[in-house]
Amino acid sequence: MEKIAKDVGDVQSRLLDHRPVIQGEIRYFVREFEEKRGFRETRLLDNLNKMVVETNEQAIPKCAEAMHSHLCDALTRLEAANHMIQRIQQRELEAQQTNKSRLQLVGEKKIDSTSENNAVKNTSPQREVRLVVSVVENLLFSIAGY
């Protein structure tokens, strides 16, 4: 009788106690989910790795080369503009010195210094200054266009 009670208890526990079956199903579901998720994440990481490699091998060298060529061109243009401005400044300084010397010489003769001063101000160095300023502005706008 004891054996029958044990067998009945065993059958009852198998019929009514579903924990082992449910735990097995849960373990199976979790294992499948992790595998699929792992594959998906692996594919995503592989795609990201490919994009990074392509960027490092192709895009970055092209950008660096373009930047270098444009910067060299801009530097050359700025140096030329700087040289032109220095020449104009020197001419303007010489014109001012000649104006001072003329005014000192003419001061004794009582010539109208204002009319001569206005005539000297409108000479070619000032026109050159305006021209260089417009050239530099055009240069800066063309550099900003890159």
Q: CB neighbours (10 Å) of residue 88? A: 19
CA–CA distance, 144 with 146 (Å, rounded to integer): 5
pLDDT band at 122 (very low <50, low <70, confident <90, very high): low
Task: Report the mean per-residue pLDDT for the chain.
Answer: 79
- Torsion, Cα of 138, 141, 145, 146 (10° steps): 80
CA–CA distance, 89 with 128 (Å, rounded to integer): 10
**35 or 87: which carries more pLDDT confidence?**
87
Average pLDDT over residues 11-20: 75
pLDDT > 70? residue 74: yes
Measure CA 47 to chain center.
25
pLDDT band at 50 (very low <50, low <70, confident <90, very high): very high
CA–CA distance, 19 with 67 (Å, rounded to integer): 68
